[in-house]
Amino acid sequence: MLFKTSSGPFQNSDNSVSRIMRRVIYALIPGVLAQYLIFGPGVIVNIGIAVLTASMAEAMVLGLRKRPILPALSDYSAILTALLLAIALPAHAPFWVTVFGTLFAIVIGKQLYGGIGYNPFNPAMLGYAVLLISFPRQMTAWQAPWEIAAQHPGLREAFEHIIGLHTLTADALGQATPLDHFKTQLGLAKSPDEIQSASIYAGLAGKGWQSVNLCYLAGGLWLLKKGVIGWQIPAGFLAGLFFPALFFFLLDAAHYPTPLFHLFGGATMLGAFFIATDPVTAAVTVRGRLIYGVLAGVLVFTIRSWGGYPDGVAFAVLLMNLAAPTIDNYTRPRVYGHERA
């Protein structure tokens, strides 16, 4: 018997790795500008150092592996990894911190496993976690928002400090983040109301930080609109953080901050829309992505509330990277006509 065949009505897609990466980079711009305006020009210096280091490391490893260099560099994946790591660092971190973290992210976190599409862990968060564990003093020396900062270094001063030619005063570098300050003061038996009377707090989650999170939220919503990311992981992430925070706040408001403090503090929106949604290391099934996001949000709340680190986004994402294959295995859609294995 002969069957007539014809081409299916397939819809062409203009998506490519480079196009997706560029759109994610575009979506990060509002948050980067907010960090620049609020915390100073050091973030721009960090980005430049990280991007240069990532490009050189990617080219070096590809050369050693005898793989084409220009096609890999032109997909922007190394640049995005460098950008995500750079904006997660204190704006005046020494240059060697940025270089070491970027090298670890690209060489160990990405290329050691075979390059883009093969890495089991988010490279940027792997680099960040190694830096936080290895150099806690440099990684917690955040500068105060310019609104309350004792010193306002310009681009040249920031660059000279970062590369070691000039040293800024301790007042410009010794500011704890609102999450870190809140956690430390709780350990001193102070109430949330007493803690949040400090000058670094205002509105939802601290001066500067809430504005940065709102800008990353705007960029994330643009990615959703463009179809670059799905809604399941960001929604699950925010829900997994919000509802435990709400439960414990209602249970004991004397020891737990409001849910909005968690949502608009630290790296919440950056984690929900830009880090947890990494298509290589996250779950891929529809139900799996929702579960993945919820569990990542719960882990962030757990680490912030009872762990040793003030934020927890990087460690939550890395732990869920480990769990992603198992989540996908148990949430695979049933093939029509077959029972689920």
In this predicted structure, what is the pLDDT of residue 321? 97
Mind listing the pLDDT tens digit for each residue in 244-260? 999 999 998 888 888 99
The total of other beta-carbon atoms located within 10 Å of residue 286's CB is 11
At residue 141, the pLDDT reads 79
Long-range CB contacts (within 8 A, 24+) of 143-146: 143/39, 143/40, 143/42, 143/90, 143/91, 143/92, 143/172, 143/173, 143/175, 144/171, 144/172, 144/175, 144/200, 145/38, 145/39, 145/200, 145/207, 145/208, 146/37, 146/38, 146/39, 146/40, 146/208
Q: What per-residue confidence (pLDDT) applies to 340? A: 56
Q: What percent of the chain has pLDDT over 90?
A: 58
pLDDT of residue 89: 93
Range in 159-173, 214-228, 270-284 with the lowest mean pLDDT = 159-173
Task: For 208, list phi and psi in degrees, rounded to 5.
Answer: 90, -50
- Check pLDDT > 70 for residue 131: yes
- Summarised one tens digit per residue, pLDDT across range 144-160 is 776 666 566 778 888 88
pLDDT tens readout for residues 21-64 = 999 999 999 999 999 998 889 999 999 999 999 999 999 999 99
At 281-319, the pLDDT tens digits run 999 999 999 999 999 999 999 999 998 888 899 999 999
pLDDT beyond 60 at 1? no
Work out the average pLDDT over 254-274.
91
Q: How confident is the model at residue 339 (pLDDT cuts 50, 70, 90)?
A: low
Of residues 19, 87, 2, the one with CA closest to residue 223:
19
23 phi/psi in degrees, rounded to 5 = -65, -40
Burial 127-164 (b: 16+ CB within 10 A, else e): bbbbbbeebeebbbbbbbbeeebeeebeeebbbbbbee
pLDDT at 231 over 80: yes
Q: Which residue has the higher pLDDT, 123 or 147?
A: 123
Evaluate if residue 7 carries a pLDDT over 80: no
Beta bridge partners of 142: 175
Higher pLDDT: 309 or 331? It is 331
Residue 204 and residue 223: Cα distance in Å, rounded?
24
Range from 37-51, 212-226, 326-340 carrying the lowest mean pLDDT: 326-340
Quick one: average pLDDT of 133-138?
90
Q: What is the DSSP letter of 255?
A: T
Give percent of the chain with pLDDT exceeding 70. Answer: 87
Of residues 177 and 123, which shows the higher confidence score?
123
Give 80-136 as a DSSP string: HHHHHHHHHS-TT--HHHHHHHHHIIIIITTGGGTSTTT-SS-HHHHHHHHHHHH-H
Bigger pLDDT: 248 vs 177:
248
Region of residue 279 (left: phi > 0; alpha: psi -120 to 50; beta: else):
alpha
Looking at residue 326, its pLDDT comes to 96
What are the φ and ψ backbone dihedral angles of 142, each rounded to 5 degrees? Answer: -85, 145
Please report the pLDDT score of residue 337 as a whole number.
54
**What pLDDT is attached to residue 135?**
93
Residue 100 pLDDT more than 90?
yes
What's the mean pLDDT when you consider all of the chain? 87
Domain boundaries in the chain?
A: 17-175, 177-331
Tell me the two tokens of residue 290. Answer: 């929702």
What pLDDT is recorded for position 311? 87
